[in-house]
Amino acid sequence: ADSQSNRAAVQATNDDASASKLSCVKKGYMQDDYIHLFVRKPVRRSPIINRGYFARWAALRKLLYQFLDCERHTEEKGTKKQILSLGAGFDTMYFQLQDEGKAPDLYVELDFKEVTSKKAAIIETYGQLREKIGTTAYISREKGEVISEHYKLLPVDLRDIPKLDDIISLANIDPSLPTFIIAECVLIYLAPESSQSIVGWTSKTFSTAIFFLYEQIHPDDAFGLQMIRNLERATAWDMLKVYSSFIEAQERRRIERLEIFDEFEEWHMMQATLLRGLCNQ
């Protein structure tokens, strides 16, 4: 059941995510110097949505930093690392990490061609993005591809597992290097068999990988159970726990002063049930 309209609706969730991130940036929750380039119609989100996005962004960032800062050195590979983002949408993490001098040796983003084409066009249009991927980068709007030494954007339907194998060689991914795989609000749009195959593919393909899954799940429904079961040695946290014990108290205090917030009950309910709605608000 992959009608055109369904596919378009799934892709549109990316525009909603980008607009929400921009809303957070404008209110001072987080810094992202690039997301505005990807949003055509800025919107103002409610404080509860902003806070939810902030928590998601801060949690991913903290884990990414832990991964990137970890000095795991092997004789033959040095400390090279990779990030693979599944259904990356218009995420700008690579450009931010470049600014911070923290970008890994290879950052690969995958999404539907309709989305990667738009992203490639935007990268080509804006000098501040182009300069981050280097002047020798190959950019094709038609193919929906950006290929540079350290950053690659490629079109693929994630349900097509053999194609994912091709991506490994196309993007020059080294499956033996430590790899941080991001699936942020993506697997929920797939049939359970497909998300299972993707998770299975990553564990078969990579020898040292962290799989960061952020999803609107109920830990006791079919999708939630499957996600938790699938990930070897997985830890699942609800966002209430992430917000109150993983994000620094100082950061919490800072963002709690940004807007009047009186939706406490709703916030607790929403976060404890893992954020239904935040991705596609």
Binding site for ligand SAM (CB under 6 A): 10-11, 13-14, 17, 87-89, 91, 111-112, 115, 157-159, 184-186, 189-190, 279
Query: Rounded to the nearest whole angstrom, what is the least distance from the CB of residue 6 to ligand SAM in the complex?
Result: 10
Q: Least distance in Å: CB of 181 to ligand SAM?
A: 12
Closer residue to ligand SAM, CB minimum distance, 11 or 230: 11
CB of 142 to ligand SAM, least distance (A): 18
Q: Which is nearer to ligand SAM, 145 or 184 (CB)?
A: 184
**Identity of the residue, 16 or 238, whose beta carbon is nearer to ligand SAM in the bound complex:** 16
Output the smallest distance, CB 264 to ligand SAM, in A. Answer: 26
Distance CA 78, CA 42 (A): 43
**CB 30 to ligand SAM: min, Å:** 13
Q: Residue 104 or residue 144: which is nearer to ligand SAM going by CB?
A: 144
- Would you say 77 or 170 has its CB closer to ligand SAM? 170
Q: What angle do CA 136, 98, 188 make, to 5 degrees?
A: 100
Nearer to ligand SAM, 47 or 89 (CB): 89
Nearest approach, Cβ of 274 to ligand SAM (angstroms)? 15
Q: Token pair 């993007």 is at which residue? A: 171
